[in-house]
Amino acid sequence: MNLKGKHFLTTDDWTREELDVVFQRAAELKEQFYKEEPHLHLPWKTLFMIFFEQSTRTRNSMEAGMTQLGGHAHDLTADKMQLSHGESAKDTAIILSRMGHGIASRNCFYGIGKDYLAEMAKHSTKPVMSLQDDIYHPFQGLADLMTIFEKFGTNTKGLKVTVWAYADTHSKPLSVPQTQALLFPRYGIDLTIANPKEFPLSQDIIERAEKNAEVGGGSLNFTNDMDEAFEGAHIVIPKNWGGFGHYSVQDYLDNEDQCKVEMKENLEKYHDWICDRRRINLADKDVKLMHALPADRGHEVTDEVIDDENISVVFDEAENRLHTAKAIMSLTM
């Protein structure tokens, strides 16, 4: 299957067969990584990475991945580029795609990020990859599903829970749970999304995820009760996200300050939405805890749970960011 030049903005743009090729390549690359066997799929090639926000796992998985594939990644930030002076996504994409072999960007500003990446992809002659935007986080979705395959096998029929949890750090994007909602049911997973009513996912994403579930044989369920979501769960993901889905994009952009105040006020109602030992005991006896990291310890999840090596697989999940990133880059660049 020839995937060279294909953009990676959301897993929804990739067929199940194409994604299967990615997971197969990721497994091969992981084995070669552990054996310290060279796997120079991209010798002398260049990836431009543009970060509008901070990053640990994403930046390092991409940069280390390019080095291990034989190429080089430029770590760029908007303040060091003419983007800070208003250069358009179109012009940036045209120029960088003439100078290298791939462009990757993280832009999570609500109502802006996805459209910015789509504009770059429209004008780039080389593959454009989303390192996370306001709607999608496709690389995280791949790492999550690869981890599930490793822990539960490729027959993934069963209960998977994406759970909202309290956090006091910042209003986190909707992109991680929305990516999981779109991707997991395509592989037969029964996905339960638990969240307070003030913190929904975007309605159009839910509708598309329900269609994906019909085709993939999985299911999509919703509850506003955290305990109910944990009961019998095989996997739990206690992850905070902001209340952006409560507003239309235009309403949010027109009234951003007011929306932020409302989201903060709503957030303070739900300090008790935490993954602790009591809730873990409601789940399946072999339950695994996943999280995209960084986890807001003591708010999203207790130290006792996330540090329990019999339950937590968050570091395996984080490592798989490297192998899945290398798979996408090696196949598209």
DSSP 44: T
Q: Is the pLDDT of residue 65 over 90?
A: yes
44: phi then psi, degrees, rounded to nearest 5: 65, 10
- What tens digit of pLDDT does each residue of 281-291 get? 999 999 999 99
CATH homologous superfamily for the domain 11-137+319-332:
Aspartate/ornithine carbamoyltransferase (3.40.50.1370)
Tell me how far apart the alpha carbons of residues 49 and 152 are, in angstroms, rounded to a whole number.
33
- Within 8 A by CB and 6+ apart from 266, the residues are 196, 198, 199, 243
Q: Which pLDDT belongs to residue 83?
A: 76
In the chain, domain spans: 11-137+319-332, 140-318
Average model confidence (pLDDT) for the chain?
A: 95
Q: Provide the CB-side half-sphere exposure for 214 (13 A, CA).
A: 6
Same fold, 11-137+319-332 and 140-318: yes
* Token couple for 68: 């291990």
Find all residues with CB under 8 Å of 151, minimum gap 6, and list them.
Answer: 288, 313, 316
Q: What is the pLDDT of residues 256-274, one digit of tens each?
A: 999 999 999 999 999 999 9
Please tell me the number of Cα atoms within 13 Å of 1 on its side-chain side. Answer: 17
| Domain made up of 140-318: CATH architecture | 3-Layer(aba) Sandwich (3.40)
Distance CA 73, CA 47 (A): 5
Task: Give pLDDT, residue 80.
Answer: 77
> How does DSSP classify residue 54?
-
Reported as a single tens digit per residue, the pLDDT across 234-253 is 999 999 999 999 999 999 99
What mean pLDDT is predicted for residues 103-108?
A: 96
Q: Find the mean pLDDT for residues 125-134.
A: 98
The candidate with the shortest Cα–Cα distance to 65, out of 332, 329, 249, 247, is 329
Q: Are 165 and 274 in contact (CB under 8 A)?
A: yes
> What is the per-residue pLDDT across 132-167, written as a single tens digit (0 to 9) for each?
999 999 999 999 999 999 999 988 888 888 999 999
Average pLDDT over residues 216-233: 96
d(CA 102, CA 333): 6
